[in-house]
Amino acid sequence: MKQSEATSLAARKRGKWGYIWPMWTSLLLHLLAILLFTTGFLLTRTELPYHSHCSDVSHSPCFSSNNNGSCWTKPATNRLLIIVLDALRFDFVAPSTFFAESKPWMDKLRVLKNAASTRPLSARIFKAIADPPTTSLQRLKGLTTGGLPTFVDVGNSFGAPAIVEDNFINQLVQNGKKVVMMGDDTWTQLFPHHFERSYPYPSFNVKDLHTVDNGCIEHLLPSLYEEDWDVLIAHFLGVDHAGHIFGVDSTPMIEKLEQYNTILERVIEVLENQSGPGSSHENTMLVVMGDHGQTLNGDHGGGSAEEVETAIFAMSFKKPLSSVPSEFDSCSCQLDLDGKNVCISTMQQLDFAVTVSALLGIPFPYGSIGHINPELYALGADSWNSDASQKLSESDIWMQNYANALCINSWQVKRYVDAYSTSSAVGFSHDDLSRIASVYAQVENHWSHSTKKLLLDRQNDSDTLVPALKRQIDAYFKFLTTVSELARSKWTEFDLNMMGTGIGIMLVSLIFQVFTILRANKKHGVMFSSSGDSCIITGSIFTIFLLGIRACSFLSNSYILEEGKVANFLLSTSGIVTLRQSVIQGKLLKESIGFLILSTLCRFAIEVGLSKQAATSAFMKDYTSWIINIASGLPVWDYAAEVIPMVVLILLAAWLYKATSGSLFDWPWKYVILGTILSYMLIIVHWITDSDRFGGTLMSQNIGRTYIPRIIYAIALGQLLLLTFGQLFKNSSLDCKTILVAKTMAILSAWSSTVILLSGKQGPMVAFASIVGGYFIMKFVNVEGGKDEPHRSFSIMQWSLFATCLFFCSGHWCAFDGLRYGAAFIGFEEFVLVRQAILLAIDTFGFSIILPVFGLPLLVATKYQANLGKHFIFTQLSQMYTTYGLITAITTTFTILCVTIQRRHLMVWGLFAPKFVFDVFNLILTDVLICLASIYYFDQGKDDQELKS
């Protein structure tokens, strides 16, 4: 008794900051560790400040060209029209006969297919393979620089910095070419001072399918009659936005593709009419291309086949080359639905910048590591005339020029590799450089001592020259392929010292958190009975077991892909352990069975989310609600899916109203909950006005879709401000437990309206499941250990696993294409970075972090004994939050170890790095909310009269 009194007296002297300082210290340690590790892990490759110049080619062993104002290669085209259709999937362009199953979105861009079938030598469709990550910024940088993207640039996708390294656009301007741009404003951010004229339009409002496209249409066709450009770029965004909001298999997507087909028909018609001798488009090339693909639910960013496979259509309006040597033609041909033969080739997007530069006769970007694509290069072959003294076919003349262009290409890539390894802190390894130098020495030696002499000898005929040229071209292919493969496998520079320091500090933070928990247990000197102690030991063992399995699963790419299932399996395992304990103690048997049933339902929801991720866009609607489409096509279910979420929301509102009728809720908590009830009703009105079945019955859709969500946001902000203001007033008539429960209910209700609104019509079901699951876990506290147990590790582990399951149940996954960008625009049309980022974060982590962190005190209140006092509660809260933070920190540490071990893995940027970003954000957000919750909850309350005496 004396020890307990001494502890209580020490706690009073220490104040609430004595309980919460470890949480703030953990936050600072985690921030420092993550900052250092991220600095070492997500470094971009070194961007060299060098640029290519016309005079540089004189240092190469190749022939230089000085005709028509060109400087590196003979120009094959004078003007270039590039039309970028954002998120253009390969199967949007290729005929449906190239695929096992025909889909509604196929065969809509008929004009491209018809041109490729009727003019196979002057028009060609390519399957273009992009390098992940497949966000627009990386792809535009890759397309213009000819280099590989790096993962850190994903963070700049909402505010693209100007490109500083050499690029295709810069070379155009430096060599007197005039460039005109219209469409996606990312171009003007990347190239702020390069365009003769530009018509940029904001690109991040994914709900806006038409503004950017209409702007392009308005300026594109008139610009075709203008003479003030050499390269014109029109970047359309409608397909990308339609995919994000409605999915690929949707009416808006098909309408967009048909609109594009009409526009392209008009463009091709104008170019053909102006392609006669002496006309403005006599030597113009048209390129229609995507920057990346998209999954069936409209997402992109990762490295799946749907995301990296896009299309390039190229068409020349002059007399074509009679044929391309079969050795350099990678096409595969098939009959389309009309019985016409369509041929499709394959190329890497990495090759686009250097190929287009060669066609225009400008220097290749200094950092390009692509190679000139032979089929695309062949579209301009008719511009080159042979010497009268040579008896060579046009195909042989093309091969001469192509071999020389590859010579310059290889010399430029070798120059870049040498400069990169000299300037970069790490660069390529010595063995890699030796391999590259060896391969290049062979091809250069063959060129200088054999092929070049044959080309200079005008007496050689095709039988002598062509085999030598083919061998030379094959040798260049081998060299360029070797460099690109090495770059893909070892491109990113990792600062292992910084990464190791970050991991070290992270481990120190874990030790600090463990020490804090053990120190608190020892300092407060809580005594346990032997049976209680046994239960605690058993619970701790199972906690460590579950946590260990979850953490170790992050070391495998397969388990990361199935993270939702793993978390649900562990949650069910914990439920079985609880069921066993309930049977032994003879209580809470119904709750234990109910928890297992709930876990099974969560597994079903996670499976639906995984199918949404992998296979179908049927779950992507305005609110991205899988619940609406579980049995789509059944009229009864369609109406039920509209009504059920509203009914559940009404039940939640009724439950909250009933809770306010007791004496538990006083000012300001009662008014906060009443505000939440009002918000719930407004959400229902918002859904009704936004519904095709009920829309317009109450008010205009503009009010329902725009202003009602803003009112809900304003109410939620007002509730949080009211709770903050309420901290200034102490209610001495209520005891500590009552205040704790009231505060918890109030802040959960304040957050819930915004979380449910952003989650869409699945929100009420997920909210209801979270309430039921939280109730079960709170009840299980009574079977975990003795009544005085200060550290409920097993219940906290269940709480954490359940929160993770809710993340996947609500349709998210740890990848950038798992973000529901449409949620960020609920109530808003225009894009504001901070505002949309906040809404997107609330939608993504509302059910999995925000509500679970602020709901944790309910586990303390469940087992509070009336004769223990407020300092016991503060001790419980401190240990509980520290334990919860420790669990999150351990899983994040294993993710950090995973990306360190797998940093050279093929899937590092497509899988491991996105998982790292999500987990790091998860940890920091959890720590920040724990610190805010500690300030909110650790307030002076009223002790029981018995304790005061």
Dump the DSSP string for 168-222: HHHHHHHTT--EEEEEETHHHHHSTT--SEEEEE----TT-SSHHHHHHHHHHHH
Q: Which residue has the tokens 């902000």?
A: 717
CA dist 280 and 65 (Å) reads 24
pLDDT at 39: 81
CA dist 648 and 308 (Å) reads 41
**Buried (b) or exposed (e) across 67-101, using 16+ Cβ within 10 A?**
eeebbbbbbbbbbbbbbbbbbbbbbbbbbbebeee
For the purposes of burial, counting CB atoms within 10 Å of the CB of 435, is it exposed (0-12), middle (13-18) or buried (19 or more)? middle
Q: Which amino acid is at 17?
A: W
What are the residue ranges of helices labelled H in 2-86? 2-14, 17-41
pLDDT at 906: 55
Q: Which amino acid is at 331?
A: C
pLDDT at 476: 93
pTM exceeds 0.75: no
pLDDT at 788: 44
pLDDT at 196: 92
Q: Is the dihedral of CA 404, 406, 411, 416 positive or negative?
A: positive
The answer to whether the CB of 527 falls within 8 A of the CB of 790 is no
**First-to-final CA distance of the chain:** 15
- Domain limits, the chain: 44-464
pLDDT at 73: 87
Angle of helix 462-490 relative to helix 430-446, nearest 10 degrees? 170
Angle of helix 136-145 relative to helix 352-360, nearest 10 degrees? 40
Query: Consecutive 10-residue runs of the chain (949 residues): their mean pLDDT?
Result: 47 64 94 90 73 89 65 88 94 92 92 91 91 80 84 45 86 93 90 91 81 93 92 95 87 94 95 88 93 84 82 88 72 86 91 94 92 89 53 76 91 92 72 90 87 73 78 92 83 76 95 88 52 56 89 86 91 91 86 93 82 44 43 63 88 86 70 91 88 59 80 94 78 71 90 93 91 91 54 84 92 78 84 87 94 91 62 81 94 92 69 87 96 83 46
- How far does CA 832 lie from the centroid of its chain? 19
Q: Which residue has the tokens 């008794």?
A: 1
CA dist 690 and 683 (Å) reads 10
C-alpha Rg value of the chain to the nearest Å: 32
Q: Name the nearest CA neighbour of 715 among 667, 765, 681.
A: 681
CA dist 46 and 39 (Å) reads 14
Torsion of the alpha carbons at 387, 393, 394 and 397, rounded to the nearest 10 = -60
- Residue 445, SS3? helix
179-184/231-236 β-pairing: parallel
**Buried (b) or exposed (e) across 550-569, using 16+ Cβ within 10 A?**
bbebbeebeebbbbbbbbbb
Q: Which residue has the tokens 């009544």?
A: 787
The answer to whether the CB of 817 falls within 8 A of the CB of 301 is yes
The answer to whether the CB of 812 falls within 8 A of the CB of 567 is no
CA dist 199 and 664 (Å) reads 60
pLDDT at 477: 93
Q: Which residue has the tokens 């890759």?
A: 142
Q: Name the nearest CA neighbour of 165 among 179, 180, 146.
A: 146
- How far does CA 83 lie from the centroid of its chain? 25
The answer to whether the CB of 941 falls within 8 A of the CB of 739 is yes
CA dist 122 and 315 (Å) reads 6
CATH superfamily of 44-464: Alkaline Phosphatase, subunit A (3.40.720.10)
CA dist 90 and 562 (Å) reads 27
DSSP designation for 856: T
Q: Is the dihedral of CA 242, 246, 252, 257 positive or negative?
A: positive
CA dist 36 and 499 (Å) reads 6
393: left (phi over 0), alpha (psi -120 to 50) or beta: beta
Task: Give CB contacts under 8 A, 24+ apart, made by 10-19.
Answer: 11/871, 11/874, 11/875, 12/871, 16/874, 16/934, 16/938, 16/939, 16/940, 19/874, 19/875, 19/877, 19/878, 19/934, 19/938
Angle of helix 870-901 relative to helix 17-41, nearest 10 degrees? 10
pLDDT at 789: 47
For the purposes of burial, counting CB atoms within 10 Å of the CB of 265, is it exposed (0-12), middle (13-18) or buried (19 or more)? middle
Q: Name the nearest CA neighbour of 495 among 35, 39, 149.
A: 39
pLDDT at 616: 34
CA dist 634 and 666 (Å) reads 47
Give kind and range of the element (H or E) at residue 772. helix 763-780
**How many helices and strands (H and E) does the chain possess?**
35, 9
pLDDT at 634: 57
- Residue 337, SS3? coil
pLDDT at 532: 45
Contacts of 388 (CB under 8 A, 6+ apart): none
pLDDT at 65: 62
CA dist 674 and 933 (Å) reads 22
123-129/309-316 β-pairing: antiparallel
CA dist 89 and 188 (Å) reads 25
